[in-house]
Structure 1
Amino acid sequence: MRFDFSKQTPQIYEAMLALNTAISQANPDSRLVHLTKIRVSQINGCAYCVNMHVKEAQRDGLPDMLLHLIAVWPKTSAFTARDRAALAWAETLTRLERSEVSDADYAAVHAELSEQEVAALTASVAMMNLWNRMGTGARLPV
């Protein structure tokens, strides 16, 4: 590990934990949160976060088969329309360097999720990206 941000910047770490709690409370669909946290962490290459969130998803009852297929979700029928909309939205927000967030991207997620769900999921994806950048920068061990 390069550094321990919880010890080096405890005020920031505590603020991140508090924001994480608020985001979790705003997201009623834990299945979508688990799927998107794992996918975002896969995209960002954060092994620590992938490992942690897979374990959390398993603890909450998500089937292993589903967890194994997250990396290839567009190529399987294992995911519901809501799952697919949330995963596509998470990828769009995580890969901003490739394109903007288009009206079509928003329309696709909003067709499956309410405005409140989209807003809460957006915050969750943004927070996961922050955690991934902290984890990969610090090289948190798995």
Structure 2
Amino acid sequence: MRSLSAVAKRGLGDPALAELVQIRASQLNGCAFCLDMHLAIAREHGVDEHRLGLLAVWREAGDEVFDDRERAALALTEAVTVLTDGFVPDEVYETAVKHFDDAALAHLVALITVINSWNRLMVTRRIPPGATEW
């Protein structure tokens, strides 16, 4: 999973966006360990506190806070993370396709998939924020 995560992040080419995606999935999954870790990494990549604070309500935050590409990635993240209605809605996928070429989209989907796996592993094992051994 570490290798897939590293390749997906590298292939996406935008470290700040990669962290926003991982933070949003971790928020949805209630994974304190991953949320804590990816918030710290996002800050290292220059994501400011204003954007981090509004990430949970990115739709309501407006276009001034998150650009169209970020919004497409976050919508896809939510759709893949919360599959309660079955498939990812066509409109969400089609919007992502407009903002990501085939390779970048594949890396984005891989990143979303792997953070969801990490979240499930850490939540199941009840790994607390900041834990160094798990």
With normalisation by structure 1, the TM-score equals 0.85
Deviates more, 1:54-63 or 1:106-115: 106-115
Within 5 Å, give how 1:1-142 maps onto structure 2: 16-77=1-62, 78-142=65-129
**Aligned letter for 2:56?**
A
Using the TM superposition, give the Cα deviation of residue 17 of structure 1 relative to its aligned residue in structure 2, in angstroms: 1.8
Asked if the contact 2:72–2:92 (Cα under 8 Å) also holds between the matched residues in 1, the reply is no
Q: 1:23 Cα deviation (Å)?
A: 1.9
- Using structure 2 for the length normalisation, give the TM-score: 0.90
- How many Å separate the matches in 1 of 2:115 and 2:35? 11
Q: Which structure's CA Rg is the greater one? A: 1
Q: Structure 1: 5+ residue runs without aligned partners? A: 1-15
Per the alignment, residue 10 of structure 1 pairs with: none
Deviations 1:14-34 (A, max 9, x none): xx2222222222221112211
Describe the superposition over 1:68-108 as per-residue Cα deviations: whole angstroms up to 9, x where unpaired: 11000000121100110000000000011223113222111
Q: Percent identity?
A: 35
CA distance in 2, matches of 1:98, 1:42: 19
Aligned residue pairs total: 127
